[in-house]
Amino acid sequence: MTLKCYGPPPAADIVHRLWAFTQLFAQRCKRHLKGRTMSVQTQIKTDIHKRLNAMHTARVTWEEGTLRASNDELYAILEGVYALYAELKTEVGKRRAFAALLTDLEVKTQTNTSLALKVIRYVFGTQGRREDAYARVVAIAHDMKSPEQSFTSYVQECGGIEEVRRVPHGLKSMAMSNDDFKKLALEGLLEVHVGVSTFDLPTFIQPNTDYEEDYAVALVRCNDNGTGTIVYGCNEAGIIDAVLVSSGKDLDERAQESLAKLDAGDLASKRARDVKEFASKMIRVGSKTTISASSDAIHTNGAATHTYG
């Protein structure tokens, strides 16, 4: 007969059992927490995806709906502005009536405010960069587009309102003084050998012997039948300078704006030529390098020299 002794287990056995239980508990907790962490990350990712999809859908709806409709409405308004502007530019009677209307309505403008800007400011009710841009686009389209082309078609063909407005400004970004513009006018007008009319100078239009340039300013009345009549002349140096500066600015602006008619294809071709020329200068193969062709690939046995700048 075997006697079994019941009593407390050895201390080492207790430690072993505690260690085993701790390891088992830790593994179960780790598996539980890992699954929970992955679940939280998945949920966050799903939520972000839903929000991005919602914003994407809203953007498409806006572009296809509100934005497109807004652009169409804006072009319709500017088309009307352009039509009125073109009439005012052509008929002096309408220009006078328009000026009288602005006076009656107590709309204040400055003497140097362009006709296009006057119309734009009345239509849009404010004055700021947006109105300046619209007025400039209307004026450029009037001077540059063909008579058969609509305002909207011309602007869209040029890349939009911002492109039409921005190109001339970009080309005229360099600051020029009045002396610079005066010099432009003197050099440009020097090439004009056949004027509008050549006549014997009347007594009221004579050169100023104290002024360094042989110019005088004539005041011309524009008649309703399309003719002009010189009614007065001035040879004051300050007046002549002011007209030359104004002429230089106008000639420069017209010359720069003419570049806006560059065809996009011509511009792309020019860029392609420039890139080819630059690439040929940038990559130079050394004199001791041999070139072998294999299939469609070209290999060199020496490093090519890359030159930047």
Q: What is the per-residue pLDDT across 244-294, written as a single tens digit (0 to 9) for each?
A: 888 888 877 777 766 655 554 565 566 666 666 655 555 454 444 444 444
* 299 within domain boundaries: yes
Question: How far from the centroid of its chain's Cα atoms is residue 255's Cα?
Answer: 19
In this model, does residue 11 exceed pLDDT 70? no
Is there a single domain that holds both residue 146 and residue 118?
yes
Q: Which of 147, 171, 195 is the C-terminal boundary of a domain?
A: 171
Distance between CA atoms of residues 4 and 205, nearest Å: 143
User: Is residue 162 a part of any domain in this protein?
Assistant: yes
Strand partners, 291: 300
Can you read off the two tokens belonging to residue 187?
């050099």
Q: What pLDDT does residue 14 have?
A: 66
Q: What does the pLDDT read at residue 271?
A: 63
Average pLDDT over residues 229-241: 88
- Distance (Å, whole) CA 41 – CA 60: 28
Instruction: Give the burial class of 189: count Cβ atoms within 10 A of its Cβ; 0-12 exposed, 13-18 middle, 19 or more buried.
Output: middle
Beta bridge partners of 293: 298
Within this chain, do residues 145 and 252 fall inside the same structural domain, yes or no?
A: no
Please indicate, yes or no, if residue 279 is contained in any of the structural domains: yes
Pair 154, 24 in one domain:
yes
3-state secondary structure of 147: coil
Distance CA 152, CA 228 (A): 34
Task: Specify the 3-state DSSP secondary structure of 15.
Answer: helix
Q: Tokens at residue 238, please? A: 């300050």
> Is the domain of 83 the same as that of 133?
yes
Number of structural domains the chain divides into:
3
Q: Is residue 152 part of a domain?
A: yes
Instruction: Answer yes or no: do 47 and 150 share one domain.
Output: yes
Q: What is the pLDDT of residue 268?
A: 58
What average pLDDT is seen over the chain?
A: 75
Let me know whether 69 and 165 are in one domain: yes
Per-residue pLDDT, averaged over 95-111, amounts to 86
Q: Are residues 83 and 164 in the same domain?
A: yes
CB atoms within 10 A of CB 61: 11
Domain shared by 244 and 272, yes or no: no
Q: How many CB atoms lie within 10 A of CB 168?
A: 21
Distance of CA 79 to the CA centre of its chain: 20
Pairing of strands 217-222, 291-294: unpaired
Do 24 and 166 lie in one domain? The reply is yes
- Around Cβ 182, how many Cβ atoms within 10 Å? 21
What whole-number distance in Å separates Cα of residue 232 and Cα of residue 123?
37
| HSE (side-chain half, CA atoms, 13 Å) at 217 | 16
Segment 106-151, tens digit of pLDDT: 888 887 888 999 999 889 887 788 888 899 999 888 888 888 889 9
Degrees (nearest 5) of the Cα angle 128, 130, 134? 120
Domain boundary residue, one of 124, 149, 171 = 171
Question: Parallel, antiparallel, or unpaired for β 283-285 and 297-300?
Answer: unpaired
Distance (Å, rounded) from C-alpha 158 to C-alpha 161? 8
Is 5 domain-assigned? no
Q: Which domain holds residue 285?
A: 264-306
Same domain, 204 and 228: yes
- Residue 7 within any structural domain of the chain: no
Residue predicted with more confidence, 165 or 289: 165
Q: What is the mean pLDDT of residues 75-100?
A: 89
Q: Check whether residue 144 and residue 209 sit in a common domain.
A: no
Long-range Cβ contact pairs of 115-118 (< 8 A, separation 24 or more): 115/85, 115/88, 115/89, 116/81, 116/85, 116/142
Q: Where are the alpha helices (DSSP H) in the chain?
A: 11-61, 68-90, 92-104, 115-124, 129-144, 151-157, 161-171, 178-189, 237-257, 264-282
Q: Considering the domain boundaries, does residue 10 fall inside one?
A: no
What global pTM score does this model have? 0.50
Let me know if 137 is exposed, middle or buried by CB neighbors in 10 A (0-12, 13-18, 19+).
buried
One domain, residues 245 and 104: no
178 pLDDT band, cuts 50/70/90, is: confident
**Residue 8: inside a domain:** no
